[in-house]
Structures are given as C-alpha cells and as structure tokens.
A and B are shown apart, each in its own frame.
Chain A
Amino acid sequence: MPSSSVNLLQGTLDLLILKSLVLEPMHGLAISRRIEQITAGTFQVKPGSLFPALHRMEEAGWLASSWGESENNRRAKYYQLTKAGRRQLEVEAAQWSRISVAMARALEAS
C-alpha cells in the first residue's frame, strides 16, 4: 500500500510542478504558492517535498534552473520547463485525465 500511494502522490506533485511552470520560470516559493492557488488550497507543498522533487526533475532533464533576481530584489533560483519537460507534462496530463475519468466512473457506478 505505501509504495502505490507514494507513487501516486509523487506523480501528482510532478504534474503540479510541471503545470505551474508552463507560463513562466519561477523560484521555489513561487511554485509552492502557485500550486496552492491553482488547487484552491487543496495541496500545500512543504519545502521538504518540494526541493527533492525539483532536484530530481532537474536531474531527469525536465527542468532547467538558473539564478535570478526576485521581485523584491533577492537572489533566487528560478526553474523553467525544458522541451523534455513539456513533453512529460503532456504525457502525465493525459495519463492523469484517464485515471480521473476512470475513477469518476468507478465511483458513479452503482
């Protein structure tokens, strides 16, 4: 049981991170706030999960990072989607819709 739920959660987090970076490069805190915002507060990503995920995805080649200036003039590390990351987003999004449709059907069935 633990492994499947972790996988699901990890996959979910990856998808949310990829999705939140579609429009523009962002630093860690912004990504976390963005996810909160687009899921209406359902997911609150703690740094303890966010950073390992970001680094893992960067090592996988889906994200690229660079240092930049934040809106209030602080140095921050910005992440942006790579080409591979965009492809991954499509794959994961498609997969996720299949799952959610299937789950919805399963729950509606009587």
Chain B
Amino acid sequence: MRRLGPLWRNLFRKKQVDADLDAEVRSYLDLLQDEKAHRGSDAHSARREALLELGGIEQVKESVRDARAGRLLESMAADLRHAWRTFRKIPLTAAVIAGSLGVGIGVNTTVFSWIQAVIFEPLPGVARSGDLQRVEPRADTGSYPGVSWPDYQDLQRSLKSFRDVFAVRMVPFYVGETGRTERITGQMVSGNYFSVLGLSPAQGRLIQPEDGARVGAAPVVVISYEFWQQRFRGSPDVVGHNLRVNDRPLTIIGVAPPRFQGTDLGLNVSLWTPATLAPLLLTGTTELADRSQRGYNVMGWLAPEASRAAAESELDRTIRQLGQLYPETNGRMRGEVMPFWRPPNGPQRMLARSLGLMQGLMFLLLLAVCGNAANLMLARSSRRQREIGIRLAIGAGPGRIIRLVLTENLLLALLGAGLGWLVAIWGTDALRVVPMISTFPIRFQTRVGLSGSVFTMALGLLCGLIFGVSPAVALARLDPQSVLHGLSGAGFRSRLGRALIGTQAALAIVVLISAALFFRSFRETQNADPGFVRDGLLLANYNLTGRGGDGNAARRFAANLLERVRALPGVQGAAIAGSVPLDIHGMPLMSLQVKGHAPAEAAPDRGLMNTVTPGYFATMKIPFRAGRDFTDLNDSDAPAQAIVNEEFVRRFVRSSQAIGRAVTARGRSYLIVGVVRNSVYEAFGEPAIPMLYRSYRDAPRLGGEIHVRARPGSETLLGSDLRRIARELDPTLDLYDIRTMNEHIDRNAFLRSIPARIFAVLGPLLLALAAIGIYAVVASSVAQRTGEIAVRLALGATARHVIGQIVRETLRVVSVGALIGWLASLLVDLHLAGGVIYLPVFVGVPAILFMVAALACWLPAYRAGRTDPMIALRQE
C-alpha cells in the first residue's frame, strides 16, 4: 500500500522523477570532485577520479530505476510503445507477418472448431458426448454389421461396465397425409434413449422406458426443436397433436432440447419414435424378433470405475456367448468398444481421420508461417544491430534486450491472432454452409466459441515465442564493441536464415504433396470404376407402406411400373432394387449356406444381400460372367432364384460349376441362375465382398429404389415422367429422392469432400507463404551484402554473374529442404495410399515449388545486380 504513492509518481510523473535523480547523481559527483580537490588533486584530474569512482552517471541512474516501484510495468509500457514505433517504421513487413500469421492461425482454428464439433462435442446439446462409446460387434470378415433388437436387449441386460446402453436406428419416415407426404429423417430408439443422454424436454416430455417397453404401447413421437420451430412455429400447444408418420397417426408427446439433432454424427434428425413401434410403422417388418436384422447402433457411457479395455473384454465375452446360443445369426463375431466420434464405417469415419491429419498439416503450415516471420524479423534485426549495440553499450542488459525484442514479436503475434480469430469465424461459417443435395440433412454445429478463442490466443503467443526467441537471443548476444566498429555479425543470421529456408521448403513440400494426394484420392472416388456404369442412371424411391397391400400387390405394382417406364422414349432399361450401392447405411449382411460347401468353422458363410427385379444388371450395366438373368416377375412356376457375384463363387463354390447350385438364406432355398461381375457395394476401395441377389419376384417388398437407364445427360429429364407414371398407378403415391446415380455418389462423398475443399484453398496459400519466406531471406541477405556485391561489380563481375550466384546459392538450400520433405511425404504416402506412388504429384509438386522459389529469389537478386557500385560503396 505504502508503495502506491511512489508507483504513481514513477509511472505518471516520470520526467520530474528522472530530472530529480539526474540532479542528485550530478550533485554527488560534484561533491566527490570537491573532496578530491580538497585532498590536493588539480581540478581536471579530480573530475576524472570522481567519475571513475562513480562508475558512470547513466549506469547509476539505471540501477536506481531498476530498484524503483513499478519498474516492470513501466518498462513494459515503454517496450510496447517502442514496438509500435518499430512497426510504423516497417509497415509492410509488419503487415505481411501479421497477415500471414492471421491466415495461419485462422485456418488452424477453423480446423480446430471442426475437431471440436466432431470429436470433443460430437452431439450438440449432450454433455460429455466426447466420451460416449459405441458397442459394436465385428464379423470375422472385418465388417461391423450393427446390432439386432433382440441382441440389444440381451446386451443391455448383461453389460455391467456401462452405466446403461441405448439403441438407435436411422429411419426415413414419410410424414403427412397420404398423397402429400414428405420424407423426413427420424430415429427409432430404445425407451431409455433420452434418459441415458441426460436430456430434458423443451416442451412436454421425452420418450421414457415405459414407451419402449412392449410392442403395442401408445404410438408416440418426439420432434426436434428445429422441426417444432419450422412446422409448428414453436407453438406451445403442439404437445398432444397428431402427426401422420408412414400413414399412422402418432401423438406428439414433446419437443427435444434446442441444439440436439440426434445421435448420427452430422445428421440432422427431426423425429424420434420408440423402436417398439416398428411393426406399426414399417408394415411386415420382423426386426424386433430377428437376430439377423442388424440395423441398430448401441451406445452408452462407461460406468465410473470401468476402463474401455475392461468394457471391451466384457462385451467380447457376451457377444461370443450370444454366438454360441445363436450360431446361425451371431456366430463368428467379436465385440469392440470405440468412441462415438470414430464410427466403424461410413463417411463419418473418414471425416474424423482426415480432420486429425489436417490439424497436423495446419500446424506444419503455421510452423512455416512462424519460420517466415522469424526470417523477416531476423532480416530486420540484422539491420538493427547498430541500434541494439548502442543500447548494450549504454547499459541495457541482455535480459532487457530480449524483453524488448520479444515484446515486439509477441505484439505482432497477438495482432496476427486477432486477425486469425476473424478468419476462423469467417471460415467456420463458410464451411458450415453445406450444399444440400436432396433430402439427406447434414448439419454440423461448428463454432469458434470460447475454447476456439482460447486456442487462437494460445497459438498466437506460441507463434510469437517461436519466431521471436531466436532473433531476440541473437541480438542480445551481440558484442557492442564489434557492432559499433562496423564489424557486423552476419554469421549468425545467414546460417539461421538458410536453415529456415530449408525447413520451409521441406514443410511446403510435405503439405503440398499431402494436399495433392488428398485431392487426388477424392477425385479418384469421383472417377473410380464402381463396377457399374454411373452416368445416365436416374434413381427414385417409392414406398407403398400403409396401403394395406400384400406381396402380390407389391409385385404387380412393380411389374406395371417397370412396363410403363420401359416404354418411355429414351429409356434403355429400368429395374427396381431394395438397396442402392454406396448408400450411407449400407446393405444387409446375411448368413447363408451353399450346398456342397462346408464352412471352415461351426458358423455359416456370409454375404451382402440385395433384392432386385429382372433387368437390374442390364440397367446397371453389370456384366454377366455365367448364366442368365432372373425369370419374369409374373412367372409363378420357376423355383426361387439367386444371382451371385464372382467373389461369392470364389469363396463358397470354388472351382466347380456355380449355376444350378442351391443356396439357403433366411430359411429359404434359392437356385443360382447367374454369376455377375464384382462391383462396389458400400465404399470405394473396399475389399471384394460376396454378394447374393434375390429376385423381387421371390421376395416382393413394399418399397424400393427405381433405377432407370438413359443416355447420359438425358436421365435428369425423366423425373417428371416417373412421377406421372407413379400417380397413374396410384393417385396418392409420391416418389422421393429423385436423383441421378452421380448425385447419389457425390452426396455420400460429401463428407470426404470437406478436406479436399480445404486443401484446394490451402495449397496455393502455402506456396505463397513459402515464396514470401524465401523472398524475405534472400532480400535481407542481399541487403547485407550490398558492399560485397558492389565491390565485385566494381571489379568487373557482370550483373548476370551476381544474380546467378545468389539464385544458385538459394536454390541449393531449397533443394536440400525439398529433398527431405519429399522423402517424408513419400513415407506419408506409403502409409496413406498403401504403396501407390502418384508420379505426377511427386514430380509436379517439387517442380512447382522450384519455379516459385526461383522467382522469389530472382527478384531481390535482380535488384542487387543493378546496384550502382559507387553509390553502394559510399554508403559503407
């Protein structure tokens, strides 16, 4: 408290305090001189002796200032003022540093906000959702088929290492009055869903365990907050209203809390119903009793004392027990526990993985930016050696110099962080605006938020330290004697500068090659051969649920529909299938027995299954390898038929003749009538999977996907014709989700395209940063060597020669760095792409880098070559 007065004086009446101190020290000197004179020295030597004993007026004053209250504050303020003045002297350099830091920090924060949204808070509105775990059975084929409803009930009873587990399954619902329905994404959930998630309703109540306890309970539905706002304008009396879903009236019992959007990463869900409503909503389904229908995802939080490893071994035990009890459907399965944000399949898995990789690359990019900043600051500091030398000579300690230079750099870095924060807010927004293709509702609630802002500032400070420490230390270690005598210590900075250029070239190569590979692999999925012809295919979904028709009616409808569609002009083929390849939710996996093939272990063989009409393979342009297509839909004599793919034959039939062999699946026997080529079913790059197609004739379904083949480009024109035909057959029937096969594939590739899009922006940006860095180093080294260059020009060297030498020297350093980076990215590539080396990328990227580097060092070199030796030498 007592020191507050002096503090005030020291900080705000600095001039007066300083004058007083000066007078005091001088009076001391006078008194000392008097004393010496008194002892007999003459006036001149008395003065000298007094000065010697004092030890320097300025030094004494500085030591008093150091002892004073508020010293730290005062010098910080002085440093900040000084830093600001320094920037005003070099506006361009300061702007380039702050700007590039801003971009670097901004993209880092943008990626961080995505990681935040995907990994740390994957379920908006749910507390601790980053710790939510998935319970996944894994088949010995390596796929994760999901959990059936009866399995879930067993798991929920027996798993002790979870506090509780819930089950959830994504279902497209048809909402509205017959004939005016709309396809809405919903989830069918176990009764404990909302209570395990710990949610409380915005209106009414949520689904409770009693709602999902038994089949035949009251038909209820919970709607999302967004749906409530959009459809009911947030009206509070929505509770108790009826909502027609799949042509059944459901009672709205409540509204979910505001940000909650379901438990499918990135998917925006609007409705939740108890799973036990399945028989009511999905006519003819047996999913509540059938262990082979594995549509559910099971999740929960671990019990307080349980570890993930313990939970996994418990799960594994339980799943094996189920396998012994029901070998037919549950055999050869293992159990795995994994975090919610790392789903076992689908595009979401890809997203989480690539976000991690991207954050790593962004950090590298930021390092490159720091390298640039350090370079520019070093370039500056070599010109500042004189100033610093004087400061050191008149009594500033090395610590004081370090603080001065660090303050400048931290201030710059914080300016950059502020810019970065703005960039991040813009970038997060820009990426969130997702192109909505048809009805698949993707929504990521990314935002910069508090943690993002803290992240930004922390990155800024870190950057300031990274690029500030080396110039600060280098300057503080200057020898004032040699600096003031004009022996500039060029050694430290050209070595450091070169190391920075090399590192940056290496970083640029790594990031650019990874970016190119990412982009390429994305393009590749766009252009890869899926095993069918994707251009010229139109898809449309229909659903006859709730019309009370049986299998015969469904078959008749399909036959009539196809007959009319095929008659349309321009249509080359048409078929109906239960599933479309590359769908976000995959195809059902079935166990099956092939006659004459004994499975390796006690459990049965397995394959994917699709149900298709005759003409499907011609429409998809999947070639037959043997046999023929299914018999006509109206043929009532032929036995049940199946068509299998080559992988099926390779695994289960071996070398012998496949045609005519019997296959049993879901308790029914089929005769193999054809073998078709393997194609892609769930994802590009998947291993070959055994596939079994049943005929629609043998297993008619109430819904399906219409496939229409036309000349590429003309397929989009057929949509209205399809709608008209459907109405002709049933005036209340709507078609949903009419899209081309290419749109269908792109939609599923959407999540994959996020990283590719980010990279497309980043690649050029990084190249620009590398160029700035090289330019900075070369420009400063040239500036430093003006004298030398002038002498050489004066002695007869040509400008060409001088330029050539500077460019050669720089490119040598660039190539060492580039080589290191090239080797590093080769390793990354081998890891990522599994041994495939894309020559154009690995040759093209370094070539581009070299061109840019050459330009960046040629510019300053060219200027140096035009130096007038006379002017330059006079300046020395």
Residues on A facing B (Cβ under 8 Å): 27-29, 46-49, 51-53, 55-56, 58-61, 70, 72, 74-77
Contacts and interface: CB of A to CB of B under 8 A. Distances in A.
Contact of A75 (B23, B35, B68): B23
Nearest to B6: A59
Q: Majority SS of interface residues in chain B?
A: helix
B24 to A, nearest CB: 5
Contacts of A76: 27-28, 31
A73 to B, nearest CB: 10
A29 B2 contact: no
A74 B28 contact: no
B67 A55 contact: yes
Contacts of B636: none
B63 A48 contact: yes
A74 B27 contact: yes
Given A47-B25, A52-B64, A59-B68, A74 B31 contact: yes
Given A28-B31, A55-B64, A74-B34, 12 more contacts: A28-B28, A46-B53, A47-B25, A48-B59, A51-B25, A51-B60, A52-B63, A52-B64, A53-B67, A55-B68, A56-B67, A75-B23
A48 B6 CA distance: 21
Contact of A59 (B3, B21, B24, B25): B3
Nearest to B20: A77
B32 A60 contact: no
A53 B66 CA distance: 11
B54 A47 contact: yes
28 contacts: A27-B27, A28-B24, A29-B32, A46-B53, A47-B28, A47-B53, A47-B60, A48-B60, A48-B63, A49-B63, A51-B25, A51-B28, A52-B66, A53-B67, A55-B21, A55-B64, A55-B68, A56-B67, A56-B68, A58-B6, A59-B69, A60-B2, A60-B3, A70-B31, A72-B34, A75-B23, A75-B27, A76-B27
Nearest to A44: B53
A51 B64 contact: yes
A59 B34 CA distance: 29
Nearest to A55: B64
Contacts of B66: 52
A60 B25 CA distance: 20
A55 B2 CA distance: 14
Nearest to B68: A55
A48 B31 contact: no
Nearest to A59: B6
Interface string B14-33: 00000001011101101110
Q: Majority SS of interface residues in chain A?
A: helix
Contacts of B64: 51-52, 55
A94 B30 CA distance: 37
B765 to A, nearest CB: 50
B27 A77 contact: yes
B67 A52 contact: yes
B834 interface: no
B310 to A, nearest CB: 51
A27 B27 CA distance: 10
A39 to B, nearest CB: 18
A72 to B, nearest CB: 6
Interface residues of B, number: 25
Nearest to B5: A59
B669 to A, nearest CB: 91
B14 to A, nearest CB: 14
A27 B28 CA distance: 8
Most buried by A among B24, B53, B59, B68: B24
B304 interface: no
A29 B32 CA distance: 7
Interface in B278-331: none
B290 to A, nearest CB: 78
A47 B55 CA distance: 8
Nearest to A67: B23
A102 to B, nearest CB: 30
Contacts of B3: 59-60
A4 B69 CA distance: 22
Given A29-B35, A59-B68, A48 B55 contact: yes
Given A51-B25, A52-B63, A76-B31, A46 B55 contact: yes
Contacts of A61: 2
A55 B66 CA distance: 10
A51 B63 contact: yes
A74 B6 contact: no
Contacts of B23: 75, 77
Contacts of B28: 27-29, 47, 51, 76
Nearest to A58: B6
Contacts of B30: 74
Interface string B45-68: 000000001110001100110111
Please name the 3 residue pairs, one residue from A and one from B, whose CB atoms are nearest each other, closest first: A52-B67, A59-B6, A29-B31
B5 to A, nearest CB: 8
Contacts of B21: 55
A58 B32 CA distance: 23
Contacts of B69: 59
B584 to A, nearest CB: 67
Contacts of A46: 53, 55
Contacts of A72: 34
A51 B57 CA distance: 11
A76 B32 CA distance: 12
Nearest to B55: A48
A51 B66 CA distance: 11
Contacts of A52: 63-64, 66-67
Contacts of A56: 67-68
B20 to A, nearest CB: 8
Nearest to A77: B24
Interface in B447-481: none
A23 B59 CA distance: 31
Nearest to B34: A72
B35 to A, nearest CB: 7
Interface in B245-297: none
A37 B59 CA distance: 26
Interface in B775-823: none
Contacts of B24: 28, 51, 77
A94 B23 CA distance: 36
A76 B23 CA distance: 8
A43 to B, nearest CB: 15
A84 B68 CA distance: 19
Nearest to A73: B34
Interface in B589-641: none
